[in-house]
A and B are shown apart, each in its own frame.
Chain A
Amino acid sequence: MAKIEFTLNGEPVRAEFDPPTRTVLDWLRESRGLTGTKEGCNEGDCGACTITVSYLRGGELRREAVNSCILFLPQLHGKAVRTIEGVRGPGDEIHPVQTEMVRHHGSQCGFCTPGIVMSLVAAHSNGEQRHDDVLAGNLCRCTGYAPIFRAAEQAALVPPPQWMAEEEFPAGNGNARIPEDLDSFAAWYEANPGARLVAGATDVGLWVTKGMQDLPPVCFIGQLLELDFVRRADGWIEIGALVSINRLYRRMRGAHPGFAELLRRFGSVQVRNSATIGGNIANGSPIGDAAPALIALGAELVLRRGGERRQLALENFFIEYGKQDRRDGEFIECIRFPVQPDRLRCYKLSKRFDQDISAVCGCLAIDVSDGLVVRARLAFGGMAGIPMRAAGAEAVLTGSPWNKTSIGAAMQALRDDFVPISDARASAGYRLNVAQNMLLKYFQEDTRPDEPSSVLEI
């Protein structure tokens, strides 16, 4: 039986995993009796189960908040884990975040509190002070958040305690079959195409916790560091498939701030720490937010099977709902798009701003030269069974003067580009209506850049 090694609150752990899809939350609560970590939703949406997972990358300690309810035990291999039981100091001392939570009345029923503390502890040790963002993945039903926010602000004035400065990492390597070498993984996967690849498990986790599925043989690819890169090469920006959404967010802030802002609203900190860009694309969701942005940027995929690679325009990867152009044993190695001036604007519409799934996600890039539209890439999620471009509206815009009349005509044309559905998130009519309005919004923002356009700017 395969074994993995990690540390838990500083103590080395060698754990057998059978099945490999045992969640960290269940293991903590049921096998270790560590009941401070709570189950609130069992799908990564409430944050009550938040723990921190630390690892070394280039000698640097990274401590990240993650949802333990949709994290599989093998994903901890080689890492250092802390739970709420592991953040207090020696004796009676507690973490500054805990002290301030008490002082500011940040808990009422207390059930979300350990998860909130863990999110704040991770942010505190990373010097992160955008507390709204830090807490977007932690639901609290009692307090209205204001006292928690005040606690976070006060705790930020105190340096991290000495006992949080370091993490103990496991000494040995265990004997788990977790690939660390890209070429041998590629060969293995070509020979074992029935395996289920798991990177961050933020989607696959739910197949287990909610779908209660028995998965085929699982291969955890999260440790393939060769696929964790963002680089500029030959006029392209190349993104390895295993770059986490959070890392990509940090890397996109300069070149494409609109894309970065969209990534910031992707799930929550916990989800973004686990989820990968490759996973987001490979699962083929019609409402995965990265795809429309990347399509608007003209991205292509590099797919690999064994030693063989091919390129594919991202929009052609999505064939129909639930079906992608990926052959057996083939995996996404990298996503790349041309270096370009930033003409991209992204609009994510959902009932709630943070940690919500898009009703419509529109990502528009319109190049204008001498008052004429020379190229328009209008990509949408939530409007069809796959992420899709508005071909008719693009055709109307291209070559037209950059004015409100052309926008009006493109908005008209967009009506024929999509036949969206009605569901719990929004009606078909609303989807179509706001997709049209996004064109107008783009035009107004482009031509009146000083006028606030989003309610988030007020």
Chain B
Amino acid sequence: MRTVHKPLPHDAARLHVTGEAVYVDDIPLPANTLHLAFGLSTVAHGDILALDLDEVRQAEGVVAVLTASGLPAANDVSPAAHDEPLLAIDKVHFVGQPVFLVAAESHLQARRAAALGRISYRQLPSILSIEDALAADSQLEPPLNYRKGNPEQILGKAPHIVSGRIGIGGQEHFYLEGQVALAVPLEGGDMLIHSSSQHPTEIQHKVAEAIGRPMHAVRTEVRRMGGGFGGKESQGNAPACACAVMAMLTGSACKMRYDRDDDMAITGKRHDAAIRYRAGFDDDGRIQAVEYIQDIRCGWSRDLSLPVADRAMLHADNCYNLPAVSITSTRLRTNTQSATAFRGFGGPQGMLGCERVLDHIAFTLGKDPAEVRKVNFYAPQNTPRPDRTFYDMPVEDCVIDDIIEELMESCGYAERRAEIRAWNRERENLRRGIALSPVKFGISFTLTHLNQAGALVHVYQDGSIHINHGGTEMGQGLFIKVAQVAAEAFGQPMEAVKITATDTGKVPNTSPTAASSGSDLNGMAVKRACDEITGRLVDLLASLHQVKPAEVKFRNGGFEVGGGSYSFGETIKLAYMNRVSLSATGFYATPKVIWDRIAGKGRPFFYFAYGAAVSEVVIDTLTGENRILRADILHDVGKSLNPAIDIGQIEGGYVQGAGWLTTEELVWNADGKLMTHAPSTYKIPACSDRPREFNIRLWEQGRNREHTVYRSKAVGEPPLMLGISAFLALSDAVAACGDGSVYPHLDAPATPERILAAVARQQGVRA
């Protein structure tokens, strides 16, 4: 292999560090471009009685003001359910909902004007918390239950039982580049949209609806995003549609970028959740049955909540063979931002609930939590009769035993655990804790039809190669990986391959770049397009030499036939002169996946990605302050397409996951207003919050047993869940404050305040 499996830097690295990389907000604007801002709801639930926008219209620089009644066509920005208007119709459903739209000559003028709207409401009762929603039976759809065996009966007879509840906070994406779109009106009412979106086709689709034109009239281009993390899967629809509609009505190009506070007030976040559990197990900690109730707070509209909640259910087993299980999932509708996709897409919540159960079991038996985990793992790969998940998928690729064994050895888990216990006995205020947690994450969209991708590859007469595919670049390194695949397929150096912006005019009907599937899907589609062109070149040379195609050898970027050889460039020239097409599309659809989400049975995933982490922390028992001292990670990315990129995903994923469970706390007040709507109050990890010692390795034996592109595995989401080990280590440190009789029952995020309260419970004090 010449280009795949190599640790090449991100294709745009030099553009990033010099500031030359162009994001939507950096694109030079056509003359008279207008800048947009939304006027937002200030109540959580209410009827709009009157809209007084006179002051808005009269404000300096304002060109146009729109409300729902002035929209030219569809008023909907939802991904599918048609339940989310661009501008509120008669009613508002959360604090921060867009009610009207202002276009002005500058960004600041638009923002200032938008603040001048006077909206009067008849306030209606609002449902904010999980408890509120359960009490009011406010649900997006009836609860879903997946089950296997008869857990109720087994729990009645189990030797040991634990039960509890874990509250799990949401998470703001905090992509550094906020939501932004630019619409440029073209001739005949067509529209060009530059968007910071993980889902250009959906932008195209929603904009077409919003301006009342077919999809062919709209072209979406996405060169790069300044971070996505799931927050730009559906949340870019509103600014893109707003720009398109305003551009259509005014004839001017329109740009909208949310101010950070608006972004946090308007857009959805990771779903917060509460998971109740009851588990029965034997003396070794082997699980006999588990019941979960997963209450998922979805916010006011559907957005992607149903598949998110489904995926939470599908990860309630993590790496463990659960002989009998019942998972009930409620999808609660509340008067808050509509929660949306976020790296892991429900998986992290489900997995944290599962890891809590394992931790609680080990605590109850007084056993090493790592050992209790081991006895519950799915049977390793190559077992004659693989275990089946509760949703009836055989786990044929389980490698977690090997990973755990190697990791525990390399990080000195057992010795450090003993040393920490001794250290804690000598300390007055400080306690350390250590925990291991494994990850098994299902790879594929559970909405099966999304598991497809297209590509377009051109080879020019000079042998240079232009590639395009449906995937988007948000920093995850998709473009470099796919370019490596193309270079490999043609046997050409990386410089020969031009990476180009995602463009719905080049590759249509794309799936979102999500579910960690970007390189699996698009890498394969591009490879097929490349192979198609190579096949034509082979056919040409075969016909020129009057041999069978099988006698033409393609290796190291050149062709050998009939004793002679042709370089790639020579062959390309020859093909052009012989009128052979040097452009091809490629298409890939993931095999094997089939899924019935209502029954909860099938094979939702092509394969699983595995990994494990050991985290060590220290807490201050007088203040609750805490630190991650060390993290060791071993992760399976199959045969890595690009080890440098993959390590970056793992490193960043861990820190983002640990942030979710520690410092990142979303707080809404009693009126439903988000109080943590800026980085001044919402704290993502800063530089010094990363583990002081941070050891990350790719699992060297990794090789995907399924036929993925060069046997690699997806890496986008799985590492986020490695951060669960930091949370469990904090729980371990809290437990070290007591005599072993009181389980910490820590909720997430484990802020200093929650840790201090948990320490107080250990000391027999009710906080």
A422-452: which have CB < 8 Å to B? 423-427, 429-430, 433-434, 437-438, 440-441, 444, 448, 451-452
Partner of A440, one of B17, B20, B474, B622: B622
Q: Is the interface of B mostly helix, strand, loop or mixed?
A: loop
Given contacts A107-B17, A455-B627, contact A33 B28 (CB under 8 A): yes
Chain A nearest Cβ from B759, distance in angstroms:
10
Chain A nearest Cβ from B236, distance in angstroms:
15
- Residues of chain B lying within 8 A (CB to CB) of residue A83: 19
User: Looking at the complex, which of A145-153, A169-177, A223-231, A370-378 is the stretch in contact with chain B?
Assistant: A145-153
Let me know if B475 and A430 touch, CB within 8 A. no
Taking CB as reference atom, which chain B residue is nearest A456?
B627
Given contacts A46-B176, A454-B620, contact A433 B767 (CB under 8 A): yes
Given contacts A108-B10, A131-B687, A351-B683, contact A458 B432 (CB under 8 A): yes
The answer to the question of B626 belonging to the interface, with a C-beta cut-off of 8 Å to chain A, is: yes
The answer to the question of B330 belonging to the interface, with a C-beta cut-off of 8 Å to chain A, is: no
Taking CB as reference atom, which chain B residue is nearest A212?
B112
Chain A nearest Cβ from B23, distance in angstroms:
6
- Residues of chain A lying within 8 A (CB to CB) of residue B403: none
Let me know if B679 and A45 touch, CB within 8 A. yes
Complex Cα–Cα for A112 and B477 (A):
16
The answer to the question of A180 belonging to the interface, with a C-beta cut-off of 8 Å to chain B, is: no
Let me know if B687 and A136 touch, CB within 8 A. yes
Complex Cα–Cα for A46 and B685 (A):
11
Chain B nearest Cβ from A8, distance in angstroms:
14
Given contacts A40-B176, A455-B626, contact A109 B689 (CB under 8 A): no
Partner of A109, one of B112, B227, B259, B679: B227
Given contacts A46-B679, A108-B476, contact A351 B752 (CB under 8 A): yes
The answer to the question of B260 belonging to the interface, with a C-beta cut-off of 8 Å to chain A, is: yes
Chain A nearest Cβ from B14, distance in angstroms:
6
Complex Cα–Cα for A207 and B591 (A):
56
Taking CB as reference atom, which chain A residue is nearest B17?
A98
Given contacts A36-B20, A102-B17, A109-B227, contact A444 B752 (CB under 8 A): no
The answer to the question of A101 belonging to the interface, with a C-beta cut-off of 8 Å to chain B, is: yes
The answer to the question of A210 belonging to the interface, with a C-beta cut-off of 8 Å to chain B, is: yes
The answer to the question of B402 belonging to the interface, with a C-beta cut-off of 8 Å to chain A, is: no
Let me know if B429 and A444 touch, CB within 8 A. yes
Taking CB as reference atom, which chain A residue is nearest B688?
A132
B: number of interface residues (CB 8 Å): 91
Chain B nearest Cβ from A19, distance in angstroms:
10
A110-169: which have CB < 8 Å to B? 110-114, 117, 131-133, 135-136, 138-149
Taking CB as reference atom, which chain B residue is nearest A101?
B17
Let me know if A107 and B687 touch, CB within 8 A. no
The answer to the question of A26 belonging to the interface, with a C-beta cut-off of 8 Å to chain B, is: yes
Per-position binary interface string of chain B over residues 636-665, scored 1 when its CB falls under 8 Å from any chain A CB and 0 otherwise: 000000001101100111111000000101
Let me know if A105 and B753 touch, CB within 8 A. no
Complex Cα–Cα for A131 and B684 (A):
18
- Residues of chain A lying within 8 A (CB to CB) of residue B361: none
Let me know if B111 and A437 touch, CB within 8 A. no
Let me know if B687 and A148 touch, CB within 8 A. yes
Complex Cα–Cα for A361 and B23 (A):
40
Let me know if B687 and A135 touch, CB within 8 A. yes
Partner of B226, one of A110, A133, A144, A424: A110
The answer to the question of B382 belonging to the interface, with a C-beta cut-off of 8 Å to chain A, is: no
Per-position binary interface string of chain B over residues 618-644, scored 1 when its CB falls under 8 Å from any chain A CB and 0 otherwise: 111011111101000000000000001
Chain B nearest Cβ from A268, distance in angstroms:
9
The answer to the question of A354 belonging to the interface, with a C-beta cut-off of 8 Å to chain B, is: yes
Let me know if B687 and A111 touch, CB within 8 A. no
Chain B nearest Cβ from A416, distance in angstroms:
19
Let me know if A43 and B14 touch, CB within 8 A. no
Let me know if B177 and A424 touch, CB within 8 A. no
Partner of B227, one of A43, A141, A149, A451: A141
- Residues of chain B lying within 8 A (CB to CB) of residue A105: 9-10, 13, 644-645, 647-648
B186-232: which have CB < 8 Å to A? 224-229
- Residues of chain B lying within 8 A (CB to CB) of residue A434: 622-624, 752, 756
B146-186: which have CB < 8 Å to A? 173-178
Complex Cα–Cα for A43 and B22 (A):
23
Given contacts A109-B176, A143-B652, A453-B429, contact A423 B675 (CB under 8 A): yes
Taking CB as reference atom, which chain B residue is nearest A92?
B14
Complex Cα–Cα for A36 and B656 (A):
25
Let me know if B688 and A101 touch, CB within 8 A. no
Complex Cα–Cα for A71 and B445 (A):
45
The answer to the question of A324 belonging to the interface, with a C-beta cut-off of 8 Å to chain B, is: no
- Residues of chain A lying within 8 A (CB to CB) of residue B21: 110, 113
Let me know if A140 and B176 touch, CB within 8 A. yes
The answer to the question of B550 belonging to the interface, with a C-beta cut-off of 8 Å to chain A, is: no
The answer to the question of A246 belonging to the interface, with a C-beta cut-off of 8 Å to chain B, is: no
Chain A nearest Cβ from B692, distance in angstroms:
9
- Residues of chain A lying within 8 A (CB to CB) of residue B112: 212
The answer to the question of B428 belonging to the interface, with a C-beta cut-off of 8 Å to chain A, is: yes
The answer to the question of A181 belonging to the interface, with a C-beta cut-off of 8 Å to chain B, is: no
Chain A nearest Cβ from B242, distance in angstroms:
19
The answer to the question of A30 belonging to the interface, with a C-beta cut-off of 8 Å to chain B, is: yes
A63-109: which have CB < 8 Å to B? 83-85, 88, 94, 97-98, 101-103, 105-109
Complex Cα–Cα for A145 and B428 (A):
32
- Residues of chain B lying within 8 A (CB to CB) of residue A30: 106
Let me know if B622 and A437 touch, CB within 8 A. yes
Chain A nearest Cβ from B754, distance in angstroms:
9
Let me know if B14 and A48 touch, CB within 8 A. no
The answer to the question of B47 belonging to the interface, with a C-beta cut-off of 8 Å to chain A, is: no
- Residues of chain A lying within 8 A (CB to CB) of residue B622: 434, 437-438, 440-441
Chain A nearest Cβ from B723, distance in angstroms:
10
Chain B nearest Cβ from A71, distance in angstroms:
15
The answer to the question of A52 belonging to the interface, with a C-beta cut-off of 8 Å to chain B, is: no
The answer to the question of B108 belonging to the interface, with a C-beta cut-off of 8 Å to chain A, is: yes
Let me know if B767 and A136 touch, CB within 8 A. no
Complex Cα–Cα for A412 and B598 (A):
58
- Residues of chain A lying within 8 A (CB to CB) of residue B176: 38, 40, 46, 48, 109, 111-112, 139-141
The answer to the question of B690 belonging to the interface, with a C-beta cut-off of 8 Å to chain A, is: yes
Let me know if B623 and A347 touch, CB within 8 A. yes
The answer to the question of A315 belonging to the interface, with a C-beta cut-off of 8 Å to chain B, is: no
The answer to the question of B16 belonging to the interface, with a C-beta cut-off of 8 Å to chain A, is: yes
A195-239: which have CB < 8 Å to B? 210, 212
Complex Cα–Cα for A135 and B753 (A):
26
Chain A nearest Cβ from B623, distance in angstroms:
5
Per-position binary interface string of chain A over residues 400-432, scored 1 when its CB falls under 8 Å from any chain B CB and 0 otherwise: 000000000000000000000001111101100
Complex Cα–Cα for A85 and B667 (A):
39
Given contacts A144-B655, A430-B753, contact A109 B686 (CB under 8 A): no
List 8 A–B pairs whose Cβ atoms lie within 8 Å, in order of A's numbering: A101-B13, A108-B648, A139-B176, A139-B684, A143-B655, A350-B683, A351-B752, A455-B619
Supplied contacts A141-B173, A144-B690, 17 more A-B pairs, CB within 8 Å = A84-B19, A85-B18, A105-B647, A107-B10, A108-B648, A109-B175, A109-B227, A109-B475, A110-B475, A111-B227, A144-B656, A144-B685, A146-B694, A210-B678, A352-B689, A426-B753, A458-B627
The 5 closest A-B pairs by CB, nearest first: A36-B19, A109-B475, A111-B226, A110-B16, A144-B655
